[in-house]
Amino acid sequence: MTAGTQATARLAVPRALVAIPAFRKLLYLRFSMHWGDGAFQAGLAGAVLFNPERAADPLTIAGGFAALLLPYSIVGPFAGALLDRWDRRRVLVVANALRGLAILIAATAVGAGLDGAPLFSLALLVMGISRFAGAGLSASLPHVVPAERLVTANALSATLGAAIAVVGGACAIGLRAVLGAGDVGSGWTTSCAAVGSVLGAILATRFRRGSLGPDRVDEPASTFAAVAAGLASGARAAARTPSVRAGLIALLAHRAAFGISLLLTVLLMRYSFTDLGPLRAGLPGLGQLALMGGVGILLAGLLTPRLVARFGRRGATVCVLAVAAAAQAGLGLPMTLPSVLLAAFVITSAGQVLKLSVDAAVQHDIGDETRGRVFALYDTLFNITQVAAVSFAALFAPLDGHSHGLLIVATGLYLVGIAGFAASTR
């Protein structure tokens, strides 16, 4: 096969996927939800971290990340069982409607100057519902595409969804510049994220009842018993599936390292960096950071199917962990604005390749009757690990973010991930 023929064949696969009506509808639904997520997170970040009416120290920033990341750690054990028990189409409709309402309440609180635990609790509610709906999307994907195209379908939908989240964040940053950086302006900016939820609820109604699964229910008769058993059941399914077990070890190492570097990057943007030509510090700098990460995610979406096809999941995972470790040390340690932006591109791209590989392992190797619970466990561990890493770093990080010791720890975590993944797959 010639190079031109191979390129045409590679382009034909995404086109064939998009030609599937059910996949296309699920893709549009993902876009609306991810746009809302990006807009809400950027609006909240502007309100808490870069608001001239508020101060932000490492522990406050860690609290903000906890509000954005912990929700599924709280509801995950319940969500997994419910996603394998309830009609996922109904879950997506109701969850999006509830999330839109919660966003409006949180935005009102931001505008009123509410801060600390009350505001973070509202953010927890919004993101908890969002994570629940996101797990429903992932568990529904095998119902709309053939099994042999799951890796490509997952890469395409997750990659484009992440890019749309970056667009949502950029929209919020732009609106903040128009509406104001204070409490009232931040409140109006955050409220706009509800548009994604309303659109998501409308799009979810386009699916037939039962079309997104579960096909059969392997649950106790009592809903409470099903909820209580969700986490344990997902853990057992993941533990007895080598590809999923090893992938989770690698992914958790990445999230721990990423959490440390993320906190330091926010502090550097807030207190140390200054504008450098077209490169910006402050909240616009975080926007540029998100843009670099978004480009990295797009690249990962293109590379993942090829890397997995050529090297297998095992080889691709070891490779991207090694690349992330090198970027963390080589680009993160200088702690300059250009090197940090480049590190964000490389590390986010490597992390997305890793995530897509683990997603595909769960979707391909876990039965439909427990897939929702495994995804819920996956997200629970994913977010607990990052919050723990951010909290750990907040205890030792200086206000200006300059801590070479913490970045060396982050680099070491990638090496630990490689060793743990290799030992598990051996």
The model's pLDDT over 266-307, given as tens digits with 9 standing for 90+, comes to 889 888 888 888 888 887 888 888 889 888 888 888 888 888
Which is more confidently placed, 66 or 417?
417
Give helix 150-179 / helix 282-327 axis angle, nearest 10°.
150
Neighbouring C-alpha atoms within 13 Å toward the C-beta of 292: 21
Please say whether the beta carbons of 114 and 155 come within 8 A. Answer: no
pLDDT of residue 405: 94
How far apart, in whole angstroms, are the C-alpha atoms of residue 241 and residue 202? Answer: 37
CA dihedral 45, 47, 48, 54 (to 10 degrees): 150
pLDDT of residue 3: 42
pLDDT of residue 53: 57
Please provide the average confidence, as pLDDT, over all residues in the chain.
83
pLDDT of residue 238: 83
- Which tens digit of pLDDT belongs to each residue from 158-202? 878 888 998 998 899 889 888 887 888 889 999 999 999 999 999
pLDDT of residue 74: 63
Residue of 358, 365, 331 lying closest to 417 (CA atoms): 358
Q: Pull the structure tokens for residue 312.
A: 């297998």
pLDDT of residue 244: 86
Judge whether residue 218 has pLDDT over 60.
no
3 state SS of 276: strand
pLDDT of residue 302: 83
How far apart, in whole angstroms, are the C-alpha atoms of residue 345 and residue 324? Answer: 10
Domain 19-211+224-425 in CATH 1.20.1250.20? The answer is yes
How far apart, in whole angstroms, are the C-alpha atoms of residue 237 and residue 375? Answer: 11
Assign 226 a pLDDT band (cuts: 50, 70, 90).
Answer: low
pTM more than 0.85: no
What is the share, in percent, of the chain residues with pLDDT greater than 70?
Answer: 86
